[in-house]
């Protein structure tokens, strides 16, 4: 393969027998990632806040003849400790391990100057985009440690590396995600069983992008399907040994 994950081409059975959880699996990039992982043989756990959307993805996976997924309905804005513990318990009982964790769910919040940023909205964005990936990772670490080859992928953004006016809590939460990924990568690198990386999808045709740029013609943007090479590379076995990186899909 080329050294550039953007050019990565995966074998059809890349994720055979792998157990992979995707957050925000009901829509946008997460939905496409869930379908792609399942198509490549993974047993997927579809986590999200809107049951009907998750069921639609479930149906698509079953219709594709791919491994039957599981659904976990959870709203990160309101989930409490028990909800995370229950998720880990049921996954422990059903699978006994976790091979991949794609932290994809996220919210944009307000586009507003710091001077006027509503404090409650700030807290909500930081909670959904940053605190929750931390809590979920910590809760699921024992299951990831039970895998021979586990991959954690956090979703970053261009504004998570270089701050930009009016991107407020969203940008700051993505800076935090880059930091969380680096700290965890450093903590797990010596053992070598878990790799931890960030992915930046870049401008992509989804509801979030439409909300951020209402005047933009969506037709000018790539579909999530076109980004799946780097997602498959990072979540699958071919990125073994790669950790602490932050890669761009475009």
Residues noted as catalytic: 170
Q: Which of 67, 69, 109, 201 binds ligand NDP (CB under 6 A)?
A: 201
Q: What number of other Cβ atoms are within 10 A of residue 26's Cβ?
A: 25
Does residue 69 belong to the site contacting ligand NDP (CB under 6 A)? no
Q: Which is nearer to ligand NDP, 46 or 147 (CB)?
A: 46
Q: Which is nearer to ligand NDP, 40 or 209 (CB)?
A: 209
Burial of 192 (0-12, 13-18, 19+ CB in 10 A): exposed
Options 14-22, 59-67, 74-82, 133-141: segment touching ligand NDP (CB under 6 A): 74-82
C-alpha distances (whole Å) from 234 to each of 152, 181, 185, 219 are 8, 13, 13, 27
Does residue 24 belong to the site contacting ligand NDP (CB under 6 A)? yes
CB of 66 to ligand NDP, least distance (A): 19
Is the torsion defined by CA of 53, 46, 136, 4 positive or negative? negative
CB of 170 to ligand NDP, least distance (A): 7
Q: Which of 37, 76, 122, 167 binds ligand NDP (CB under 6 A)?
A: 76
Per the CB < 8 A criterion, the answer to whether 164 and 114 are in contact is no
Does residue 123 belong to the site contacting ligand NDP (CB under 6 A)? no
**Cα–Cα dist 243/188, whole Å:** 9
Which positions from 31 through 60 interact with ligand NDP, judged by CB under 6 A? 48-50, 53
Question: Count residues contacting ligand NDP (CB under 6 A)?
Answer: 28
CB of 248 to ligand NDP, least distance (A): 10
Which residues are bridge partners to 154 per DSSP?
Answer: 103, 198
Q: Which of 15, 22, 105, 184 binds ligand NDP (CB under 6 A)?
A: 105
**Cα–Cα dist 102/45, whole Å:** 10
Per the CB < 8 A criterion, the answer to whether 234 and 151 are in contact is yes
DSSP 66: P
Binding residues for ligand NDP, per CB under 6 A? 24, 26-30, 48-50, 53, 75-77, 104-107, 128, 155, 157, 201-204, 206-209
């Amino acid at each position: 393969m080329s050294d550039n994950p953007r050019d990565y081409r995966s074998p059809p059975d890349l994720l055979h027998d792998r157990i992979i959880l995707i957050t925000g699996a009901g829509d946008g990039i997460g939905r496409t990632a869930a379908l792609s992982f399942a198509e490549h043989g993974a047993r997927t756990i579809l986590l999200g806040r809107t049951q009907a959307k998750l069921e639609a993805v479930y149906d698509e996976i079953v219709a594709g003849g791919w491994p039957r997924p599981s659904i976990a309905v959870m709203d990160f804005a309101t989930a409490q400790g028990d909800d995370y513990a229950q998720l880990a318990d049921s996954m422990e009982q059903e699978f006994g391990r976790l091979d991949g964790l794609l932290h994809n769910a996220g919210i944009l919040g307000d586009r507003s100057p710091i001077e006027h940023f509503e404090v409650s909205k700030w807290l909500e964005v930081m909670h959904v985009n940053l605190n929750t990936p931390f809590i979920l990772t910590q809760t699921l670490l024992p299951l990831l440690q039970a895998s021979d080859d586990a991959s954690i992928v956090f979703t970053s953004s261009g504004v998570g590396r270089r701050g930009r006016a009016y991107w407020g809590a969203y940008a700051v939460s993505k800076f935090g995600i880059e930091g969380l990924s680096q700290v965890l990568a450093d903590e797990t690198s010596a053992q070598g069983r878990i790799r931890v990386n960030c992915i930046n999808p870049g401008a992509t045709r989804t509801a979030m992008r439409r909300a951020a740029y209402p005047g933009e013609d969506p037709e000018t943007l790539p579909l999530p399907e076109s980004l799946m090479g780097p997602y498959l590379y990072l979540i699958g076995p071919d990125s073994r040994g790669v950790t602490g990186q932050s890669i761009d899909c475009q």
